[in-house]
Amino acid sequence: MEAAAISGSGSILLSMHGSSSNKKSAFPRRQLSIGGPQFVQWRYMGFSRIKFNCNGLCSSSLVNSNLPSRRHKLKTDGKKSESRLIISLVQSIRSLSSDRWLSLNRQRSLKSLRSSIILLQIKYWKEKIFHSFPLLLSRLAFGVMLALSVSVGVNKSPAWALNEENLLFLEAWRTVDRAYYDKSFNGQSWFRYREQALRSEPMNTREETYMAIKKMLATLDDPFTRFLEPERFRSLQSGTQGTLTGVGLSIGYPTRLDGSGIVVISATPGGPAKKAGILPGDVILSIDGKSTEDMDIYDAAERLQGPEGSSVEMDIRTASENKHISLMRAKVTLNPVNSVICDVASMGNNDSKIGYIRLATFNQNASGAVKEAIEKLRGDNVKAFILDLRDNSGGLFPEGIEIAKIWLQKGVIVYICDSRGVRDIYDTDGNDAIAVSEPLAVLVNKGTASASEILAGALKDNKRAVIFGEPTFGKGKIQSVFELSDGSGLAVTVARYQTPSHTDIDKVGVIPDHPLPASFPSDKEGICDCLKNPALCNLDSTKLFSR
């Protein structure tokens, strides 16, 4: 059997085919229109009619002509849809087919009729869904738009509005997100931390916002990535520009795992700390009575700085004793370069004059000052150079690169790496080189750090210089300083580096080619005396420019 499809006008074309050869058993083709006044009658095996009368209110009945006393009415209360009418017809046929008065053939015919109407119902719903699909789709689209509208409304609600303090926190978060060298962010979801902090961290005042930023940076477990309040940021800027008011100390964290306190990296020549005898490697235990055990290096630096003429009290642990020192703050001029000609005729005619250059820091004037010193010494006919990087705690990374280019004809200066490996290479083609042929010795110690280590490593691995002294500080990471919109700043570790031979010096340092004797002097006059008479300082002069 087969039921035809529903036409576009709402009429149902019903076609039923019986398998019997009896002409009476065959259903004639009829059209059933649902939706308007209609009367349709079938005559089949004693059933006089199947009657549908639909005009607003639908009713139908199936009458057995042979059993006029048994009338089967369809339950059709109120307005009926086409589907409901078909369902009622099926139920009525099912009820009639169970009548014990019907013959077996008539029961089979009713079952056949019921099956045909069920197929008709299936076809009807298929067509109904097909024609209703555009409406369903439009309703679905409307529902999605409504959901999005509700979502946008929630996100723009006053409870989630970002205030000025939130925006400052987000500025700091984005700075670290872009610049920090470890893109795993110490194994945490950096985006998730931002969302949680905006929900849970109080940021109603500037102090609370600063505390939230510090707490965020602490999750990186990187002591060199730090927040700088506006005063500290200005102080750091003045230090890289060449002047500072304080005691003249460069400080850092101990490189040993069991170390505590603040370690002295170097003391500025002519500064109060240098005059008081403070040496690289000494540990500052307290500043003005406050312990440095858990003190931030930027907090310590701020405490050491202050108005010119004011005093600061410190407890110092040296290699042999603990002592208390009182220093008077002064304006320290960070002159990056001092130079002198050492006349050492006893070392041979070819090396009768050695140019000594002491590089104290890598501020914005450093590379220009080194070039001037080289040209001046060359004018006095020097035949070799000594570059002293002892107690140079570093400074501006670009200045270290530029000074390396002065001495190198070609080659890699440093590899810049992040958590995924090498991401950049700094090298030179010789265009900026002015001193590539003269013998060169470089002096280092444990106060040689950061940019100084980059320079020493580049000169050593390119076989341009012989390195003398002791292993350097071992700071193999590079920081950049970023200013925030309110005048505060962030010092962010932007990379770690490797020397041209792919040596990672972090917490290891640059290993020198030869040690320096313990009696080797630190001032330029004493160095010249030592070079003239090596026996005074136990120096083996034959190794000075040889590997």
Query: Which residues are known to be catalytic?
Result: 450, 475
In eight-state DSSP terms, residue 99 is -
**Tokens (6 digits) for 113:** 């009729």
**Tokens (6 digits) for 521:** 């002097």
In eight-state DSSP terms, residue 177 is H
Q: In Å, what is the CA distance from 332 to each residue of 270, 325, 362? A: 8, 19, 15
- Pick from 186, 309, 304, 310: nearest CA to 252: 304
381 backbone φψ class: left, alpha, beta (φ>0; ψ -120 to 50): left
> 308 Cβ partners below 8 Å, 6+ apart?
245, 329, 330, 331
In angstroms, the CA 189 to CA 503 distance is 30
In eight-state DSSP terms, residue 373 is H
The whole-angstrom distance between residue 361's C-alpha and the CA centroid of its chain comes to: 32
In angstroms, the CA 227 to CA 489 distance is 6
Q: Residues 54, 36: contact at Cβ < 8 Å?
A: yes
- Coil vs helix vs strand at 247: coil
CA atoms within a 13 Å half-sphere pointing along the CA-CB vector of 401: 14
Q: To the nearest 10°, the Cα dihedral for 296, 301, 305, 310?
A: 60
In angstroms, the CA 494 to CA 423 distance is 11
Phi and psi dihedrals of 341, rounded to 5?
Answer: -100, 125
Q: Residues 244, 272: contact at Cβ < 8 Å?
A: no
Q: In Å, what is the CA distance from 153 to each residue of 140, 145, 146, 198? A: 20, 12, 10, 19
User: Which residue bears the tokens 């600061």?
Assistant: 312
The b/e string for 166-195 (b: 16+ C-beta within 10 A; e otherwise) is bebbebbbebbeebbbbeebeeeebeeebe
Residue 224 β-bridge partners: none
- Pick from 90, 93, 54, 53: nearest CA to 72: 93
Q: Residues 461, 414: contact at Cβ < 8 Å?
A: no
In the chain, the largest separation of any two C-alpha atoms, in whole Å, equals 146
In angstroms, the CA 378 to CA 363 distance is 24
**Tokens (6 digits) for 413:** 């200066």
First to last CA, the chain: 104
